Structure 1
Amino acid sequence: MSRSTADSARSDTLPTPKERRRLREALALSEEQVAEAMGVTKATVRSWETGRSAPRGRKREAYARLLGAQEPEAPRPAEAPAPPAPERPAQDPRGREPQGRAQARPEASPPQPQASPPQPQAQASASAHVRPKAAVKRAAKPPRAPSPAPAIAPGPARKVPPKPPERLKPVAADGAPAEPAPDGAGPSLTPEEAFDALYAHAAPGLVHQTYLLTSRRGLSHESVERAFHHAWEHWPEVAQDADPVGWVRAVAYEYALSPWHRLRRAHKHPDAPPAEANRRALLGALLDLPPAYRRTVLLYDGLGLDLPDTAAETEASTPAAANRLLHARTVLGERIPELAEPEALHRRLSTLVAEAPAATLPAARTVRAGSEHRARTWTRAVLGVTAALIVVTGFTVATAPTRYIPVNAPGETVNGVPVRGGPQKLGPEDLELRDRLRSEPNPGPERLVPAVG
């Protein structure tokens, strides 16, 4: 394998979006500091941590080194290996050794292999070489520590749910599990089989969860079906995701909690509340919470996700998710006194989420066919509109004049013109008087001219 192939393979190793967020918080780095070190904006870093985008090229490799998910590059084979040197303490970005360690350095002891994993401080110092100017600028001023998350009362021990892909197995037509491959590497799933297994595993629970968020059964069915339509359209991305159930769940929650559904007559009002008093009180208290707080408490106390995963799925910071959770617990405790303790709320929500859903869902093949039909319909509509625009533009170009031709309007009779102003026309008497005055300039008596004596 050549060096370029090895570099490209090494640069492709990036942790999952949720793991990127956890590593950044473990290094006590804020989004602003990571954005400054990588030379990007804060919104770009947030997109990397939510999985909407991923760095490429050199930024991908630098981002992996910054998070400590990639080992530093080994020296080139052409270079002679340097002689073993005594182990030196880490230097600050200005190149000076910390005081008090120069005397404790051994004189001629060979470097000992480190059995413990690198600490966050060593990772941060190694990642400071990503952008030297930014590192020196940050070293000149003390780094701003991220705001700590509020303390949350410890609940019962949470079990991390197993990854859905491990529980997804192809099902044969008669309902029996498919036989494994002859090579012993496990059953090979086609995209259709993997989608059907994911749908059968996650769809009923997601319908029940979206109903708890909205109290609208029709909207919950529509949200889950739309989420799986979207998942089948982006199946290569969903199949490579570490948590495909979380991918579909985020899309379903976003659609179910959209405020535009209030304008629709079918989903304007919630369904009739359940007959059980405790269940009715809990659903009513959940509906009184804002959508973001409702979603946070359901993910954390209902599904058992940890706080960083809850914050990542709701696209909020960890302190913001913690504040939402504390506020939701306070409101629910005020409305229902027996749920004032976090353990009681966690048990009630876990039991409510784990109930067997009684939803009747369409078959997975129907959902896939609907997604493909919807994609074909939108594609044809876009192509039709584009063709219509091309035809209209071509017709306009063909019939438009190449130069301006002035319009010579024919003569028309103009009415309503006002009378010309000025003195009126002279009559016969006026003309006679004028002629007389001009012919006889001195009609009166002769003037007396004084004599000079």
Structure 2
Amino acid sequence: MTRRPAPPLPPPKARRHLRETAALTQTQLASRVGVTPGTVRAWESGRTTPRGRKRDAYAKLLKTLADEETARRTTQTQHPESAPEADSAPKPTSGSESAPARKPLPHEPDPVPESAPGSAPESVPESTLEPAPEPEPGPEPVPEARPAPVPLTPAQAFDALYEFGAPALVRQTYLLTGRREQAREAVERAFQAAWEHWPEVARDRDPVGWVRATAYEYALSPWQRLRPRHRRPEPPPADPGDRTLLNTLLRLPPRHRRTLVLYDGVGLDLPETAAETEASTPTTANRLLRAREAVAGRLPALADPQMLHRRLAELASNERLGAARPHAVRGDGERRARFWTRAAIAFTAALVGTTALTVRTAPTHYEPPVSPGQAVRGVPPRAAQGSLSDEELELRHKLRDQLQHGPERLSPRLE
């Protein structure tokens, strides 16, 4: 049995354009397809791709929206003047057709009542019987042009993103680590990385998701255990229920804990959770089920996902977790970047200097190494000089005392 090919889908930008052209919100489109608004947001951002029946329904709906847009453009092209003008007012007609009655203004006199049939008409001045001259058409009012919005500078955009997402990210990271200072530091480091890669983050469909993924990676890094701060425990929550829930979360494996916080704490969809944790959808679902079983095994009241979501939100909100000001985070990131840049320059300069010194002092020709020494065998050992006998001593004294026969010693003289 062969599977039929999946229906083609337009690019993510075209999907969003078709939805906005049809004046549909993500919630309305999600209800028509049968998914959640978060899933539609992921489809339009390109992070996930629909599959199976949902892909068929989504492709069919997009094709319908595209056909409607094409028909609308064709109608506007063929009949550009068919639409009535909204500002045009109906002209008064003469004869039996009368103009619609209107409410008199405060400064106008009361209207003359119509006479009953059979009664004599009242005397009306001739001037009132003459039709009033029609006012000359004046120039149409020109709508006032609204001033164009002033674009934000990169620093202002970063500050707005930080003020919007930093408090919630600190609370979420606290659920992963159980440490207040570590959660605050992880979020600050994530925003510093975002400021360092700001052009990439500014163009991202979900900047908060980019920062959240970076903060989670830093908070769950195994190198955090080697820091001296990690060895000192922090005071637990004051509420016994919050303390039990936090201990249960910290006993979960890091991957299961992160999946549970993203799905039941943050409220992401399963494909979005899988994309952020860099895992497949079945693997993410398996981790989520195991994490829920572990939590429900120790806290049976949290077996309901809705109750678990509410308790996670309460646990994160009960702690006073503040965040630094955005300008301070930007300043720390810039100082850190300058420090590492200067350190890299100094290390490069030291490496270049060491290389130059090595090249300068290195020999210019090859010198063979001295061969190691070898033991010579077969040579008798050298005998040491022993003590003289009595006869040898007497002979030595005799030779020293007697005058040596031979020519006298020559000495230079002046003549």
Q: Which bracket does the TM-score occupy, shorter chain normalised?
A: 0.5 to 0.7
Tell me how far 1:341 sits from its aligned partner: 1.9
Confirm or deny that 1:347 pairs with 2:310: yes
> Deviation of residue 263 (structure 1)?
1.4
Indicate the residue corresponding to 2:366 in structure 1: 404
Q: Which residue of 2 aligns with 1:60?
A: none
Change (3 A) 1:416 1:398: closer
Deviations 1:264-294 (A, max 9, x none): 1211354222121111111111111111111
Aligned pairs for 1:113-262 (under 5 A) are: 115=64, 183-262=146-225
1:343-387 deviation per Cα after TM superposition (whole angstroms, max 9, x unaligned): 22122223434x276234332111111111111111111111111
Match for residue 337 of structure 2 among 375, 397, 400: 375
Which has the larger displacement, 341-350 or 229-238?
341-350
1:69-88 correspondence runs (5 A): none
Query: Structure 2 vs 1, CA of residues 274 and 406 (structure 1 numbering), >3 Å: closer, same or farther?
Result: closer
User: CA offset at residue 187 of structure 1?
Assistant: 4.3
CA distance in 2, matches of 1:302, 1:270: 24
2:397 is matched with none
Alignment of 1:192-341 (within 5 A): 192-268=155-231, 270-341=233-304
Distance, in Å, in 2 between the alignment partners of 1:187 and 1:268 is 49
Measure the CA separation in 2 of the matches of 1:392 and 1:219. Answer: 40
How far did 1:225 drift? 1.2
Give 5+ residue unaligned stretches, structure 1: 1-9, 30-66, 72-113, 119-181, 422-453
Contact conserved, 1:214 with 1:270, CA < 8 A, in 2? no
Partner residue of 1:142?
Answer: none
Partner of residue 408, structure 2: none
- Are residues 17 and 402 of structure 1, via their aligned partners in 2, closer, same or farther at CA, if it must alter by over 3 Å? farther
Task: Name the CA distance, whole Å, in 1 between partners of 2:357 and 2:209.
Answer: 50
Judged with a 3 Å threshold, the aligned counterparts in structure 2 of structure 1 residues 200 and 357 are, in CA distance, closer, same or farther, namely farther
Name the residue aligned to 1:440.
Answer: none
Quick one: structure 1 residues 406 and 370, their matched pair in 2 at CA, closer, same or farther if it must change by over 3 Å?
same
Amino acid at match of 1:392: T
One-letter amino acid of the structure 2 residue matched with residue 352 of structure 1? L
Larger radius of gyration: 2
Q: Is residue 301–residue 350 contact of structure 1 (8 Å, CA) maintained in 2? A: no
Q: Which runs of 4 or more aligned residues in structure 1 lie more than 3 Å from their structure 2 counterparts after TM superposition?
A: 10-21, 24-29, 114-118, 182-187, 350-353, 405-409, 414-421
Aligned to 1:23, what secondary structure does the other structure show? coil
1:22 to 35, 48, 52: 48
Aligned 8 A contact 2:48 2:275 in 1: no
Q: Give the Cα separation in 2 of the matches to 1:14 and 1:116.
A: 11
Tell me, what secondary structure is at the counterpart of 1:391?
helix
Q: Percent identity?
A: 52
CA distance in 2, matches of 1:277, 1:193: 42
Equivalent residue letter for 1:368: R
- Normalised to the residue count of structure 2, the TM-score between the two structures is 0.56
What is the count of residue pairs matched by the alignment? 263
Q: Does 1:393 align with 2:362?
A: no
1:158-181: CA deviations, max 9, x gaps? xxxxxxxxxxxxxxxxxxxxxxxx
**Contact conserved, 2:167 with 2:321, CA < 8 A, in 1?**
yes
**TM-score, normalization: structure 1?**
0.52
Match of 1:384 in 2: 346
What secondary structure sits across from 2:48 in the alignment? helix
Question: CA distance change for structure 1 residues 350 and 407 in 2, over 3 Å: closer, same or farther?
Answer: closer
Contact 1:225 1:367 (8 Å CA) reproduced: yes
Distance 1:266 1:398, change over 3 A: same
How many angstroms does 1:233 deviate by?
A: 0.3
1: CA distance between counterparts of 2:186 and 2:306? 30
3-state DSSP of counterpart to 2:229:
coil
Give the Cα separation in 1 of the matches to 2:13 and 2:344.
37
Written as runs of structure 1 = structure 2, the 5 A alignment for 1:415-434 is: 418-420=377-379
After superposition, the CA RMSD in angstroms is 3.3
Secondary structure at the aligned position of 2:49 is classed as helix
Judging changes above 3 Å, is the alpha-carbon distance between structure 1 residues 11 and 329 closer, same or farther for their aligned structure 2 residues?
Answer: closer
Q: Is the 8 A contact 1:214 1:220 kept in 2?
A: yes
